[in-house]
């Protein structure tokens, strides 16, 4: 299955990164065997593949929750109450940053700038930006993502 996803990117400029992104989009994360399969197809070592995976924070080795909630931890968001905001969201979902709920429906992740500094604190819920974020706005955004997933 992984080879079928990776093969179309072999020989392309930036092919390895595109292949890894395609695997993550299809599988939800990069399974351990990704390194061996990609290494064989791109004719590079597993260490080289592992180096690329570990360099980019968007690549993940663990399955994430159905909805990924990214909370900005950069300076502008901290100055606008970001630490309190993060604390409230963590408390609301009984999760710490970097954790996935036992039901696998939510993952909380830190992110270091979403480009919404003028609307800090900021969050990203299911790929959508939330400015002037609060725990209540994050909750509404999560519910919207869930509704859209069902329909």
Specify binding-site residues: 72, 77, 113, 117
The rounded distance, in Å, linking the Cα atoms of 36 and 139 is 40
Give binding residues for [2Fe-2S] cluster as ranges: 72, 77, 113, 117
CB 120 within 8 A of CB 71: no
Are 123 and 71 in contact by the 8 Å Cβ rule? The answer is yes
Which residues make Cβ contacts (< 8 Å) with residue 115, sequence separation at least 6?
Answer: none
In whole angstroms, give the CA distance from residue 14 to residue 27.
20
Q: How far apart are CA 137 and CA 51, in angstroms?
A: 37
């Amino acid at each position: 299955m992984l080879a079928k996803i990776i093969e179309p990117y072999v020989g392309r400029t930036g092919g390895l990164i595109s292949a890894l992104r395609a695997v993550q989009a299809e599988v939800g994360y990069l399974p351990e065997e990704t390194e061996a399969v990609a290494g064989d197809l791109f004719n590079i070592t597993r260490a080289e593949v592992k180096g690329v995976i570990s360099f980019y924070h968007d690549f993940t080795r663990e399955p994430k929750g159905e909805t990924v909630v990214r909370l900005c931890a950069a300076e502008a968001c901290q100055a606008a109450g970001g630490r309190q905001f993060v604390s409230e969201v963590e408390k609301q979902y009984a999760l710490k940053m970097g954790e996935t709920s036992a039901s696998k429906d939510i993952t909380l992740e830190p992110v270091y700038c979403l480009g919404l500094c003028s609307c800090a604190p900021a969050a990203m819920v299911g790929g959508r930006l939330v400015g002037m974020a609060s725990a209540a706005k994050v909750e509404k955004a999560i519910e919207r993502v869930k509704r859209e997933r069902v329909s």
